[in-house]
Every structure is written in structure tokens, then in C-alpha cells.
Amino acid sequence: MEYNFKELEQKWQKYWSDNETYKVEIDQNRPKFYVLDMFPYPSGAGLHVGHPLGYIASDIYSRYKRLNGFNVLHPMGYDAYGLPAEQYAIQTGQHPETTTEKNIARYREQLDKIGFCYDWDREVKTCDPDYYHWTQWAFKQMFNHYYCNEADAAKPIEELVTKFETNGSADLNIVCSEQLEFTAQEWKAKTEKEQQEILLNYRIAYLADTMVNWCPELGTVLANDEVKEGLSVRGGHPVEQKVMRQWSLRVSAYAKRLLDGLEHVDWSDSLKEIQRNWIGRSEGAAMTFAVKDSDVKMEIFTTRADTVFGVTFMVLAPESELVAQLTTSEQKEAVETYLQETKKRTERERQAEVDKVTGVFTGSYAINPCSGEQIPVWIGDYVLAGYGTGAVMAVPGHDSRDFKFARHFNLPIIQVVVPEGEEVSDPSTWEDSKDSKAGTMINSDFLNGLSVPDAIAKTKVFIKDNGIGDVQINYRLRDAIFSRQRYWGEPFPVYYKDDMPYMLDDSKLPLTLPEVDKYLPTENGEPPLGRAKNWKTDEGFPLELNTMPGFAGSSAYYLRYMDPKNDKALVGKEANEYWQDVDLYIGGTEHATGHLIYSRFWNKFLYDIGEVVKDEPYKKLINQGMIQGRSNFVYRIKGTNTFVSYGLREEHDVTPIHVDVNIVRNDELDIEAFKKWSPDYASAEFILEKLSDGKAGGKYICGWAVEKMSKSMYNVVNPDVIVEQYGADTLRFYEMFLGPLEQSKPWDTNGIDGVHKFLRKTWRMFYGDNGLTLSDEKATPEELKVLHKTIKKITDDVERFSFNTCVSAFMICVNELVDLKCNKKEVLEPLAVLLAPFAPHIAEELWQLLGHETSVCDAQWPEFNAEFLVESTYKYPVSFNGKMRFTLDLPVDMSKDDIEKAALSHTMAQKWIDGKTIRKVIIVPNKIINIVVG
């Protein structure tokens, strides 16, 4: 019987579904294992062959763990809210839910064909009210908590109110937007509205006027990770800075824990590094500079406190509040002109023109707290309002930006550090600042002669002792802007009373997304929800018009899978205590600064309030590489409809044209399909490769290039097509065979025949020409050796996620067993189990042929027995001066002396020793023999 993958795969997919093979329940008698894929956004284009790469890897690992006795949770769902569905809705008037559901159905159909072991009873969709109920609930909790630095955790806001009532704002070590000072009396005297305004300063989810990334084209604000190089990540539209009253999440309060937590997770170094950079910890000193003839105090942050004697001026960000206070009447006009000009420059222009120095003098002078010197205060747009205090002490001698500014405006430059291996020199001769951290201090009073690190330490002590400042740690991580002025997202559980936000009662959740007539802003610029009829509470208070951003729904989805139908809680205690956290998370590296930061933050918050048992959500994380496209080209001779094959294209003047990779096989064009592909090519003519006898008439060979996988390049390969042609098991095997999981690589269907052949060859070990050929005979030592070598290799490689080498190992195993003409059940049965995680359909069929009546999913992973691999001899490579010349079979337990004798007396050795002296003989038993001659 032939290997009929089509029939066989349908049969087993139906079996799994009928028998609920992949249904998972809590089982206290088995250890849990949680394998998670980053859930997809269901786009209109469907899955291409790159999407399942990570899913196949996680599926293999899930099945492997199950075979090893684990109770494996392996769910799947959809990140269903998103801009593309909404943009499409704006264009067509179709409800985004309709297109989203359609896309989800298509995704599901495609996923089902690949034979994944998902427990679909646990599916979640972020746009489902039963799901976003808990997104809204979590937001409420964040609104009702503040961050206490002492406890290093979120605490209920009522506790803070009690503190205000007894002590006012005194002696609080908590995270806030700005420092406020009031007494208990003052607090009590405030109106409800004033109190609410103050509490927003501390809430973890808070409403505030903040500098936001506004994208006019998308009509919404965006979070920092949604903006790249001044453009929106989605769509590439320009983004500008603007102050708006928006919801934010106080992610920055968790900066330290998000950074420290990286030490305890098993993620790739590069991913951790991306997160570390994004969080951006810097340790330095906060210092206060007094201003001459003024009460204003200038707060600055510096990591180079040692260079304080090199400060020759101060610079304020144009947006700094101090600008107005420090501008003198003489400079007022100049400053205002400058502020107008900078405002006109977009964020993108500012970033693009980093070299362009702009600034203006305020007219004020600050006083250096260490030297007592007076220094001018400038305004410059190289100083960012959003980082540190929006003001810097400028050290032009040792900071390249300050140096450029000083040169441009002719401000003094002093050298205070002599870099290692250099002499003191005249700053006016310098090309650039000397930023080196390895050097010795000069011109710096009590710091003279110290090394830079010592000087930093000493300055810190000095400023502390003299009340000038303190040691401080700054983070680059900003709070996450959480409002979107869009329709297709979670509604906020928020209403407004007297312009102050209040949370809906839990009994009102979920607050479902209302219908609107159009998915556009209202005439007076309100978000689309402004169009909804009756968008207010029962009492008549208006509801929030913004919706939540994309990362809201993806931040806690992994918890929901544990207990997806619970209508009392996000996740029940029992489920959470059993499943705990994700043991293995597989997904793309593009979520490094978005989802993976937010969801860690969200989880830590839930941990603080006692909802979940783990502080970190994802124990081990693997980033699968991107699958790039591999495009094919045909070469049209200019001005004709004649196409010349790749090898002959240089003999003509040609235009390369993308051709659909689906009508090309092993770079050979299917000419008939090409003619049908487009009417333009129906009458095309072809110049083919020359045959070996030199005559024309061979194949039409296409050129190729690695590009992004996209429709416009005609290089999109759909997994359904591969499943149709070769079967799901071949697709699964081939995706793994392409190369290491974490490496990016182009999809190239060339080579898929190899793995398909391998599966057929495996099949034929069971089925010969005359039917089933299995034998109950005892296996030979050779056969057992092949089997156990494979058990060891596959087990080791699956453990280290090296799936590509597993495929090779299977091929070697089957090749060797076929050579041995093995048809013994004793060998083929364990082999079927080894295959099951990789090629579940064929494995089920083989398992059944071996006489089993239950699924191979519930078999036991074969145990490796080293005894079968014991050898009596070892084939030594014999090297001379490190170059291998011949091999020599010797007993494994032979003594070093005997090995040396055997090697030196070998006939082949004479040739290399002849006429030379043996200087040394290196023998590593059962490894190598190296003879040094000279």
C-alpha cells in the first residue's frame, strides 16, 4: 500500500476531534507543562508559510512533553482587535467584527490542516466581551491602586486616602507624576473634584495631561513602542508631539522590577538586552543649581558628576517650565522667536537634523554648586523635556553634544579629564569632546589627580554632604499611553462626573462596544464612540469615548487560557495554582519592547494584588526566526514578449520580472502555467537552457532573490498548498529541516522532496509491495544500536530545541534500518513514538498498524539504553602535526603506550615519519592520536 497522506491525515484529524484527544484538564497526579504560542492577529491575507514555524516547534515540544508524562497545556487564540480591520471598516462600512470573524475562521481552517495539538475548548478572542470583561476589570484594579516604593508593590488607593487624612502628603515614599505637598487639614478641606484630581497623580492607571505621540493620519495617539523613527509602526505615518489629556499606565513604577526580573528568566541574551536598553537604567547624581538673583532652583541629572568643574553653561529643553521663569526681559523676544521656530519643527525633523545646532540664551545665570562660578543658562532643543528633569549641566569638554553647542555659540570649553595615554591640551584645538571614562581629573579642585570612577564616587559624597544633591537612578522607560481615539478596541469601564473619571461598578462589566453609524471621529473631533447613541450610564453620566490599545488584550491572555470560561475571575485560584506560568513561550522578536514589557508589567501588578502566584509570566522564551520570501524571476527581452532562461540572460538586454513562485518548481518555470498566469503572457515565447549536447530545448530556469515575503513580490507560499501537495507531516518536517529555529531564513520549497521521500521510505519499512511486513523477531544488535543512537540524539536535540538536526537524525536512522532490511516491531514501535511529535498523522497510522488501539499521543517516550551503543573498538584518526592522515581501529581499553606503538608501527605512518624526528605523541583515549614530527 502506498503512503496516502491525504486520506491518512484526514482520518486522524477526525479521530483527534471525535475523541477530544487534545482536551486538557487539571490533573494533580501529573506535573503540568505550559507551552504557549504568541497568538496571531488574524489578517485578511491568511497564514503564509512563515507563520506556522513557531507553532510547529511548540507543537513538537508539547507532544514530546506529553509523551514524557506531563499534563501539557497548549492553547491558541486570537489577538482580534487591531487597526487593519478598522481601516477596512472605514473604507467599506463593514463592521470590523464581521471581517475579524471571517479572518478567524480562515485562520482556524488553515491551522487545523497542520495537525496541531491545541485544546480549542480554551480558545480566547480579545474582542469577545467574556474575554475583555477581564481586561476592563484589570484596568479598574490599576485605577484603584498606587505604587508604594517601600513595599515595592501596588497598594489599594484607599490606604493612600487614609494616609492623606491622617498625615497629608508627608513622609510618603510612593510613585507619582509630580511631587505634591499638603497637610491632612488641607486634604480634608478639598472638594471631591480636587481630591480626585490629586489621586490621579498616584493611580497606576491615571488620566493626565501628557506629551503624547499624536498620529494625525490614524487619528489617534500611540505608545512609544508603536513609533519608530518618528513614524507609526503600523502604516508609517508621521507622528507629532502634543500635550493631551490621556489615560496612561504607570509602567515606569515597575522599571526596576522589570529590569531585575530579567535575571530570573530563561530568554535569549539578545532579547534581554533589547529590554534592558528599552528600560534604560542609568545611575548618576541629581544636583540642584541655584540661579543668580532668583529663587528658582535648577534640578539636573548627570551620570558624570566628576565633570562638575567643567560645567560652563546650562541648557533647558524648550518645553521646560523653567524657560518662562528664567527668561529675562532683555532676552524675551529672542526666546519667544526661538520657541516658535522649534515648535514648527516636527519630531521627525528634529531627529533627522541631529547635527543642526539651535538654541538661545535666557539671560539668566546659574551658580555652580561646587565651584561657585556663574554660568549662563541657555535653551537648546537637543535637551529632551521627557528625560531626567529637562535640564542639563553642559560639560562641553567631555560631552559631544555640549561640545557642538559650545562651538556653535562660542561658549567656553574647559578640560577636566585627561584621557589615559594623553597629555593636557588646549580645548580650542580639539575636533571633538573627550568623552572617555578612563582618565585623570584636572582643573577640578578637590578631585584633581583622581581617576574618573573615583571622582564620580567622591563627588557623590560631596554633593550629599553639602546638600547639593543626591545619588539617583533614572530610567528611560516611560509610562504607557493607554487611550486610543479609535473604535475597534476595548471600551474603558469609565464614566465622567464633574469632568472627573470614575469606574463602573463590577456588576456593569463587561461594558460592551456600542454600535456606531461610521467608524470615524465625530464632526467636533471626538473619537468614534462619540457617535454611539446613549453612550452613558443609567444615571446619565457620559462614558469614556476612547478605547484601549492593542496591547491591552494581549497582556494577560496567557492567564485566561488557564481558566477560559470562568465568569467570576480572570483566572480561578485552583487553575492558577496548578498551571502557574508559561514554561515555554515561542514567538517573534518584534514584540520585545511592546507586548513582552507590557505583559510582564501587567502580570507583576496582578501578582502584587494577589491575583496570580508568579511574578514573571514567561519562564523560557524562544524567538523563532523570520521566514523571508524567496522570489523567482523571468527575464523578458526588452521590447518583446520573449523570455530567456536564467543561464542565457546575459546574452540579451533583459528586464527581470517577478514570477509567482507557485508556478516554479526547483527554479524551473512551469511554462504552461505561466502562459495562463496573465493574459499578457498567453502568447509569450521562450528561449530555453541549452542541453548538454549544446542544442536548445532544455528547461526554463528562473533567477531568484531573497526578499520580504509579500504579495507584490509574488513569493507568498500558502501552507494549504504545501499540505495539499505533500501533506501536513511533510510541511511540519520541512519547516523544521530549514535550519535552526531561531535563525531567519528564506522559504525555499526546493528540498521539500527530500523530507517527503523520507516519510515514504519510513512508510515502506512497514508496508512492502505485498502488504504489511512487520515481524515479531528479536532485533539484532546492529538494529538496536541504530535505534538507541537515534533515541539519544532525538531526545537530546528536542531538549535543546534543535529540531533541524532531529530531522537529519531520523533520516540517518531510516536509511540505516532500510540498509539492514529491518522490519522488527521491537525497533519500529519505539521509532513510531519518536516520530509522533514531528509527524503525528503518520505516527498514529503506524502505531495502529503495530496493533495499538489508543492514540500514539498517550504512548511512552522510549528510554535510551547505553548498553546497545557499547563498542569494543574505536576508529582513531591519526594526525601528523595536526593533519589527519589515516584512521586506525583499536580496542577501546588499549593503554596509551600500546596505542602509541600501534600508531607508530602502522605502515601508513612510515611515510610521515620518514626522515623526521618524532618530537611528541599526543594520545587522547577514544578521541585522537596526534604525532608531532619535525
- Whether the CB-CB separation of 381 and 345 falls below 8 Å is answered with yes
- Closer residue to RNA (CB): 380 or 553: 380
Shortest distance in whole angstroms from residue 110 CB to RNA: 23
Say how far apart CA 99 and CA 80 lie, in whole Å.
Answer: 10
Name 708's Cβ contacts closer than 8 Å, sequence gap at least 6. Answer: 628, 629
d(CA 604, CA 617): 8
Containing 326, the helix (H) or strand (E) segment is helix 322-326
Closest by Cα among 470, 444, 464, 466 to 455? 444
- Residue corresponding to grid cell 478639598: 190
Residue 127 CB, shortest distance to RNA, in Å, is 27
Instruction: Enumerate residues 6+ apart whose C-beta is below 8 A from 901.
Output: none
DSSP state of 413: -
Nearer to RNA, 228 or 292 (CB): 228
Residue 353 CB, shortest distance to RNA, in Å, is 7
Torsion from C-alpha of 218, 221, 224, 226, nearest 10 degrees: -30
- CB closer to RNA out of 252 and 547: 252
Rounded to the nearest whole angstrom, what is the least distance from the CB of residue 104 to RNA in the complex?
27
- Which set of grid coordinates corresponds to residue 615? 511574578
Nearer to RNA, 576 or 930 (CB): 930
Neighbours of 811 (CB within 10 A): 18
Instruction: Return phi, psi of residue 306, to 5°.
Output: -60, -25
State the minimum distance, in angstroms, from the CB of residue 823 to RNA: 16
At 211, list the grid cell.
506629551
Q: What whole-number distance in Å separates Cα of residue 797 and Cα of residue 776? A: 30
Q: Is 170 left (phi over 0), alpha (psi -120 to 50) or beta?
A: beta
741: number of Cβ within 10 Å: 22
Q: C-beta of 932: minimal distance to RNA in Å?
A: 4
| CA dist 194 → 189, 198, 479 (Å) | 10, 6, 23
| Minimum distance, C-beta of residue 872 to RNA, in the bound complex (Å) | 15
Q: How far is the CB of 830 from RNA (least distance, A)?
A: 19
The residues, ordered by sequence, that sit 6+ positions from 69 with a Cβ below 8 Å of its Cβ are: 30, 31, 860
Amino acid at 474: N
Q: DSSP character for 428?
A: G
Structural element, H or E, at residue 496: strand 494-497
Decide whether 163 or 785 has the Cβ nearer to RNA: 785
Peptide bond into 510 cis (omega under 30): yes
Within 168-309, residue ranges assigned H as helices are: 184-189, 192-200, 255-261, 269-279
Q: CB of 668: closest distance to RNA in angstroms? A: 7
Specify the residue, 725 or 744, whose C-beta has the smaller distance to RNA: 744
Task: Please state the closest distance from residue 461 (CB atom) to RNA, in A.
Answer: 18
Partner residues linked to 775 by β-bridges: 824
Antiparallel, parallel or unpaired: β 374-380 and 313-316: parallel
Helix (H) or strand (E) holding 85: helix 83-92
Q: CA 822 to CA 879: how far, in whole Å? A: 37
The DSSP bridge pattern shows strands 71-73 and 32-37 to be parallel
- Is there a contact between 115 and 60 (Cβ–Cβ < 8 Å)? no
- Supply the minimum distance, in Å, between the C-beta of residue 271 and RNA: 8
Q: Between 535 and 874, whose beta carbon lies closer to RNA?
A: 874
Query: Long-range contacts for 683-689 (Cβ within 8 Å, ≥24 apart)?
Result: 683/641, 684/641, 684/642, 684/643, 685/641, 685/642, 685/643, 686/642, 686/643, 686/644, 686/645, 687/642, 687/643, 687/644, 687/645, 687/648, 687/652, 688/645, 689/645, 689/646, 689/647, 689/648
Determine the residue type at 482: F
Q: Parallel, antiparallel, or unpaired for β 439-441 and 227-228?
A: unpaired
DSSP 733: H
Cβ-count burial 836-872 (b if 16+ within 10 Å, e if not): bbbbbbbbbbbbbbbeeeebbbebebbebeeebeeee
CA atoms within 13 A on the CB side of 88: 16
Q: Which is nearer to RNA, 353 or 498 (CB)?
A: 353
Residue 471, SS3 per DSSP = strand
* Choice between 423 and 769, CB closer to RNA: 769
Whole-angstrom distance, CA of residue 861 vs CA of residue 833: 6
Phi, psi at 726, each rounded to 5°: -125, -20
CB–CB of 270/277 below 8 Å? no
> In the complex, what is the shortest distance from the CB of residue 126 to RNA, in angstroms, rounded to a whole number?
23
Pick 451 or 802: Cβ nearer RNA = 802
